Amino acid sequence: MNGIHVPLITPFDETGDVALRVLDREAHDALAAGAAGLVGLGTTGEPGSLSAAERTSILDVLTGIGAPLTIGANTRAELDELRGRPTVTAALTLVPPFLRPGEDGVVAHFEALIQVSPVPIVVYHVPYRTGQQLSAHTLRRLAAIDGIIGVKYATGGVDPDVIDLLADPPPDFAILCGDDAVTSPMLALGAAGAILTSANVAPGAFTDLAAAWRDGDTTRARTLGARLARMSAALFAEPNPAVVKAVLHATGRIPTPAVRLPLLPATAASLRAALSAATLPAHR
């Protein structure tokens, strides 16, 4: 699992329904810009606010595209929804949130889930949301489980554990950046790719960044990485994905900037700052 993967927002129309045709277009545009794959029903897609019928409709749209697809699925029931959908190549599964079961508990949890999952699993490690820290040693234990193929690493920065992992990565285990603002240094250290909310806004720029590091064009990579880090900081000035949706709406790409409670729409000030920081693709 390499390259830039775009965790798609869930667009809503003027009636509050999921705008499925818009979702399909945004997915195709991301792929046309060079994205290696798509992620559906991740945190950026506001899955907790969706009904079961809406989740199924989104799955139907995204699985019909035919591109490599990772789906956010954290429970046995959610994993079972992926059965019989051949374009779903992986599930993105959170480290158990809130409970803080300890590192042995996390390993046991994923050992149990992979036994029932119809697809490989990418571990979503985001301790500032889950409350559970994982050491490099524990991530290597997870990597050794058959069917665990990677980690979305989102600890809030480039820390000693990920430096340890990237210095000697486990075989057949993708270390993916999950913190948009530090994508460039993570790629420089050898990350296989990234799952980036900010790539909803500028997928081509992030694929160019990954290509620059891969090709050894460090001057271009550093310059582009600095610009994209500033853009990402502006897009995350308020809870995700409020500012991203505001930018996509302001540029004519989605019908409304609406998010669902408990999220609130982005403020005008955050939208202005994000538009100023972003280099936006032309809208068709």
Q: Which residues are catalytic?
A: 124, 152
Q: Which amino acid is at 211?
A: A
Distance CA 238, CA 87 (A): 33
Residue bearing tokens 């271009």: 220
Yes or no: say if 165 and 171 are a contact pair by the CB < 8 Å rule.
Answer: no
Reported as type and span, the H/E element at residue 64 is none
DSSP, collapsed to helix, strand or coil, labels residue 146 as coil
Yes or no: say if 121 and 148 are a contact pair by the CB < 8 Å rule.
Answer: yes
Strands 3-7 and 37-40 come out as: parallel
Distance CA 70, CA 92 (A): 6
217 token code pair? 């064009």
Could you count the other beta carbons within 10 Å of the beta carbon of residue 121?
Answer: 23
Partners of 5 in the beta sheet?
37, 195
